[in-house]
């Protein structure tokens, strides 16, 4: 079953952790806003950083731990060399990062304007500091995976979604949890600016 994020306790546990662990006061009602900022910012960043020669991966890293990543890659059309398409994929598994990917890390302050820009444009919100941005973005994705892990069931699909922004799911196959994370709606299309293929 796929549940809306606000039909779960995830926003509450997220808010409590932000307050208690990072001393970042943020209400549970802002959980959807932060989720939007993350997925919108990463799509915009990857759209600007993408190139046809090799994949580009954005890595959410915190205290030396890789929490999640998003990769954009160009796929040429076998029947028409002049055309092709871009695809963006998210993952909680570091093993999914292509070996030849150009890597961009959350801890690199050069990428932070994408997050503050997305928050400012949509909600008039920005993060108080780079440290807060890194902590809250990392915490958000960790809590999403933690929710999936704690609710995973053998032979069933368990998931959460924020419509038009993202969907996260987990299944248990032969005792092994299989996670998936993907952008949705217009955010997913942000990366498919095929007019950029000619660049």
Ranges of H-type helices in 31-165: 31-49, 112-123, 130-151
As a whole number of angstroms, the distance between CA 167 and CA 153 comes to 17
Mean pLDDT value across residues 108-112: 95
Domain containing residue 189: 9-150+185-198
Query: How many Cβ atoms sit within 10 Å of the Cβ of residue 21?
Result: 10
Q: Is residue 60 part of a domain?
A: yes
Q: Is residue 20 part of a domain?
A: yes
Query: How many Cβ atoms sit within 10 Å of the Cβ of residue 174?
Result: 6
Alpha carbon separation from 189 to 3, 58, 71 (Å, rounded): 23, 17, 14
Does pLDDT of 198 surpass 60? no
Q: Is residue 100 part of a domain?
A: yes
As a whole number of angstroms, the distance between CA 126 and CA 88 comes to 25
Q: Is residue 177 part of a domain?
A: no
Q: Is residue 161 part of a domain?
A: no
Q: Is residue 140 part of a domain?
A: yes
pLDDT digits (tens, 9 = 90+) for 30-76: 999 999 999 999 999 999 999 999 999 999 999 889 999 999 999 88
Burial of residue 98 (number of CB atoms within 10 Å: 0-12, 13-18, 19+): middle
pLDDT digits (tens, 9 = 90+) for 84-100: 889 999 999 999 999 99
Mean pLDDT value across residues 157-183: 94
Question: Is this model's pTM higher than 0.85 or not?
Answer: yes
Q: Is residue 32 part of a domain?
A: yes
CA angle at 49 for the pair 69 and 18, rounded to the nearest 5°: 40
3-state secondary structure of 98: coil
Q: Is residue 167 part of a domain?
A: no
The count of domains in the chain is: 1
């Amino acid at each position: 079953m796929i549940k809306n994020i606000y039909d779960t306790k995830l926003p509450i546990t997220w808010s409590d952790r932000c307050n208690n662990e990072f001393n970042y006061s943020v209400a549970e009602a802002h959980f959807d806003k932060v989720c939007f900022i993350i997925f919108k910012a990463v799509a915009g960043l990857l759209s600007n950083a993408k190139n046809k020669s090799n994949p580009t991966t954005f890595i959410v890293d915190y205290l030396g731990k890789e929490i999640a990543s998003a990769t954009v890659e160009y796929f040429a059309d076998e029947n028409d060399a002049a055309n092709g398409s871009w695809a963006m994929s998210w993952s909680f598994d570091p093993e999914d990062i292509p070996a030849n990917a150009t890597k961009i890390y959350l801890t690199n302050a050069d990428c932070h304007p994408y997050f503050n820009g997305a928050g400012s444009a949509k909600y008039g919100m920005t993060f108080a500091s780079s440290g807060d941005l890194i902590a809250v973005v990392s915490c958000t994705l960790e809590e999403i995976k933690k929710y999936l892990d704690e609710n995973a069931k053998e032979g069933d699909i368990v998931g959460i979604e924020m419509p038009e922004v993202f969907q996260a799911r987990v299944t248990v196959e032969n005792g092994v949890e299989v996670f998936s994370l993907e952008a949705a709606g217009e955010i997913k299309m942000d990366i498919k600016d095929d007019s950029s293929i000619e660049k």
